[in-house]
Chain A
Amino acid sequence: MKKKLTTVAFQGTPEQKEKLLAVIEKLKDQKGAMMPILQQAQDIYGYLPIEVQKIIAEKTGVSLEEIFGIASFYSMFKLNPDGKYAISVCLGTACYVKGSGDVLDEISKQLNVPIGSTSADGKYSVEATRCLGACGLAPVMTINGEVYGSLKKTDVKTILEKYQ
């Protein structure tokens, strides 16, 4: 799926920037440095917004588009930060055939947050994940690590009320 750009305002701190610069300085002359730089940048910031990618472009001399190409290609790189409440709905085979797609759509609709992105206030992030290994509870989702199983579309409203 095409990755969505974030609408959450960047809130990087000088400490984070300092850490990132140290990472770049350490790695930049190595061949194939971009992957580890991006991985560690994501560890520092939690995601890879344009502000972070610009710093990397400037310090490595690699064009911003090339970096964005890499960040948008690999599924492990995130362009959106986790929300205060990070909602992940399993779209693995068992969950999917038991209707998790509808549950995901319903969550996205109720929160008005497109799938694969984070609400502009940073409160909710909604994403699809691969199999969580809890197929017996299908369809499954997690919110900040807490597991909800045997979901129905009609359960969504009550569950979300807990996360205001």
Chain B
Amino acid sequence: MIKVVINGKEYSVEKGATVLEAAKAANIDIPTLCYLKDINEIGACRLCLVEVAEMRGPALGPWRMVTACVYPCTEGMQIKTNTPKIIASRKMNLELLLSNHDKKCLSCVRSTNCELQTLCREYGVDQSTFSGETHHYEIDNKTPIIRDNNKCILCRRCVATCAKIQGIGVIGANNRGFDTYIGSQFEQHLADTSCINCGQCIVSCPVGALYERDDTDQVFDAIADPNKHVVICTAPSVRAQIGECFGYEPGTDAEGKMVTALKALGFDGVYDMNLTADLTIVEEATELLGRIQNNGVLPMITSCSPGWIKFCEHYFPEFTENLSTCKSPQQMFGAIVKTYYAQKKGWDPKDIFMVSAIPCTAKKFEVTRPDQSAAGIPDVDVAITTREVGRMIQKAGIDFRSLEDGKFDDPFDIGSGAGAIFGATGGVMEAALRYAAEIILGKKLEKVDFPEVRGTEGIKTASYKLGDLTVNVAVASSTGKAKELLNKVKSGELDVQFIEIMACPGGCVNGGGQPIQPAKVRMNKDLRAIRAAVLYKDDADETLRKSQDNLAVKKLYEEFLGEPNSHKAHEILHTSYIKRGLY
């Protein structure tokens, strides 16, 4: 520990701590824009300027301005965080940023949740006193991820996230000086690159330069159409984050209010995707056991995360045979609703408008994939993110916080604890183990917890002895970690039979479609763990904890699908992949 003096008061801080971290310990928030803990620490935006004086031998050296986010504390350092000089510099830097910023705040999707706007409010900056040339960029809106460089402040948080966390790197800074812009190689649209639509760039953007394609108007239109049966199913993790759109702390379970709000919006059916998470487990674990028994392609890799699927197709096409052929829970839901449920109700599948509420931007791409149309039409019509669900509820004037708890609609209202934990990294693995262990051992599982595969670690491995069979498993979250893991599998360093991969770090709870928390919050809280805790609590509180015990799933097999992995199940619940390659 070393001693530093912050605004006249002495503090003890860890050796190697930056001024920003030291100030945090003194409960002082130094403003930042480009800083994103562990991801982007480059001192570029110069909003975190502070004055420091360091010891030069026995005496204190001169006062200088430094960037707090990257400047390390030294023994005896004096730090001032709020002098008139600092405030004037920060204001000047904000004005410079605004001088080439599209200030259309009124309808900006990030308004009130924009880190630049917040700072401008705090510093009383509403426009730039500098006038001159400004950029007018075309908006790249050919994928679910939309880039509006007119709002970009060149902080490079998206660039660092894409390259360092996701191991992709399809965006970066091009050209130089005033002409610098964030984009892809050779001015390509994102759609023409090996972007996987994970949306991690969106949740790292401090302003409104990146956002998902808004599909909510289509949903409002469908609800208003009397000839449509408009149904929605919500993914496991949406309930754990939707509260954040309405001012609840991260880690608040708002399932009941969410269901009530969706009903108030006018959906004809509000269903729980945990059910098809269970269905996925039954299909996927059966597929795994089949591959093990019949010398099929191993390791088998999960296929729930559409970001991961596209990553595999682009970056590891040699592994596409390893992917489980199971559709994701979202697509299974649509497929079941438009076949089984349509038949049961006597509806024409074309009259059903299937919406899914998901934590994910890649699912918007997934709904357009080929071989995802069990009834001859797309399984899912529109996929909307947690943020879009929040916006729909706000637009409709529904007072979310005052709502009573509601319940999902029959007959898709049952989900097991195993389905619930799908939203966290390791959850699909644990759910599959609960199923596979029971089948292999031929008896009821006493202990259903598999704590080895839980937690936010990027790569987790475990080995389970089930009777005579030893099953080695691995779990990776973030495509950067997936890359690391697959390279180990390729080199033979790691010998596993089953792998779970989620494209987003921490799994769906930290998905690209989730409510955006500013860097300030992300600096102090591990959102991945806090949000995942909601799902693990749901699971622990459930009496129904295994997918195979879900009566709704059993009924589906009895009435419609036959056996797991039956011919019919294959037709409706399974899909195929494309070897895309890199360019």
| A contact residues around B184 at 8 Å (CB) | 65
Given contacts A2-B175, A73-B175, contact A63 B170 (CB under 8 A): yes
The docked-state distance in angstroms from the alpha carbon of A147 to that of B457 is: 65
Would you give the 0/1 interface string for B322-345, flagging 1 where the beta carbon is closer than 8 Å to chain A? 000000000000000000000000
B176 at the interface (CB under 8 A from A): yes
The minimal Cβ–Cβ distance linking A45 to chain B, given in whole angstroms, is 16
Given contacts A63-B172, A66-B169, 19 further A-B contacts (CB under 8 A): A1-B179, A2-B179, A3-B175, A5-B187, A50-B186, A58-B582, A63-B163, A63-B168, A63-B170, A65-B169, A65-B170, A65-B184, A65-B185, A68-B172, A68-B174, A69-B172, A72-B176, A73-B173, A73-B175
The minimal Cβ–Cβ distance linking A52 to chain B, given in whole angstroms, is 12
The docked-state distance in angstroms from the alpha carbon of A72 to that of B176 is: 7
The minimal Cβ–Cβ distance linking B77 to chain A, given in whole angstroms, is 32
Would you give the 0/1 interface string for B178-204, flagging 1 where the beta carbon is closer than 8 Å to chain A? 010000111100000100000000000
Q: B-side interface residues toward A, CB under 8 Å?
A: 163, 168-176, 179, 184-187, 193, 582-583
A53 at the interface (CB under 8 A from B): yes
| B contact residues around A135 at 8 Å (CB) | none
A66 & B163 in contact (Cβ 8 Å cutoff)? yes
The minimal Cβ–Cβ distance linking B115 to chain A, given in whole angstroms, is 24
**Which one of B174, B184, B185, B193 has the greatest number of beta carbons of chain A within 10 Å?**
B185
A143 at the interface (CB under 8 A from B): no
A94 at the interface (CB under 8 A from B): no
Contact of A53 among B169, B176, B185, B193 (CB under 8 A): B185
A14-73: which residues lie under 8 A (CB-CB) from chain B? Answer: 50, 53-54, 58, 63-69, 72-73
The docked-state distance in angstroms from the alpha carbon of A65 to that of B188 is: 10
The minimal Cβ–Cβ distance linking A111 to chain B, given in whole angstroms, is 23
The minimal Cβ–Cβ distance linking B436 to chain A, given in whole angstroms, is 36
Interface CB pairs A-B, < 8 A, 23: A2-B175, A2-B179, A3-B175, A5-B186, A50-B185, A50-B186, A53-B185, A54-B583, A63-B163, A64-B583, A65-B170, A65-B171, A65-B184, A66-B163, A66-B169, A67-B185, A68-B172, A68-B174, A68-B185, A68-B186, A69-B172, A69-B174, A73-B176
Can you name the residue of chain B whose Cβ is closest to the Cβ of A62? B169
A72 & B175 in contact (Cβ 8 Å cutoff)? yes
Can you name the residue of chain A whose Cβ is closest to the Cβ of B181? A2
The docked-state distance in angstroms from the alpha carbon of A53 to that of B186 is: 10
Would you give the 0/1 interface string for A116-142, flagging 1 where the beta carbon is closer than 8 Å to chain B? 000000000000000000000000000
The docked-state distance in angstroms from the alpha carbon of A5 to that of B175 is: 12
**Which one of A3, A54, A58, A63 has the greatest number of beta carbons of chain B within 10 Å?**
A63
Given contacts A63-B163, A64-B185, A65-B185, contact A72 B174 (CB under 8 A): yes
The minimal Cβ–Cβ distance linking A114 to chain B, given in whole angstroms, is 14
| B contact residues around A54 at 8 Å (CB) | 583
The docked-state distance in angstroms from the alpha carbon of A63 to that of B164 is: 11
**Which one of A5, A63, A65, A72 has the greatest number of beta carbons of chain B within 10 Å?**
A65
Given contacts A5-B187, A63-B163, A64-B583, contact A69 B173 (CB under 8 A): yes
Contact of B172 among A2, A3, A65 (CB under 8 A): A65
The minimal Cβ–Cβ distance linking A6 to chain B, given in whole angstroms, is 9
The docked-state distance in angstroms from the alpha carbon of A58 to that of B194 is: 14
The docked-state distance in angstroms from the alpha carbon of A67 to that of B184 is: 11
**Which one of B173, B184, B186 has the greatest number of beta carbons of chain A within 10 Å?**
B186
Can you name the residue of chain A whose Cβ is closest to the Cβ of B169? A63
The minimal Cβ–Cβ distance linking B499 to chain A, given in whole angstroms, is 22
| A contact residues around B582 at 8 Å (CB) | 58
| A contact residues around B163 at 8 Å (CB) | 63, 66
Can you name the residue of chain B whose Cβ is closest to the Cβ of A74? B176
The docked-state distance in angstroms from the alpha carbon of A67 to that of B174 is: 10
| B contact residues around A3 at 8 Å (CB) | 175
| B contact residues around A69 at 8 Å (CB) | 172-174
The docked-state distance in angstroms from the alpha carbon of A64 to that of B179 is: 20
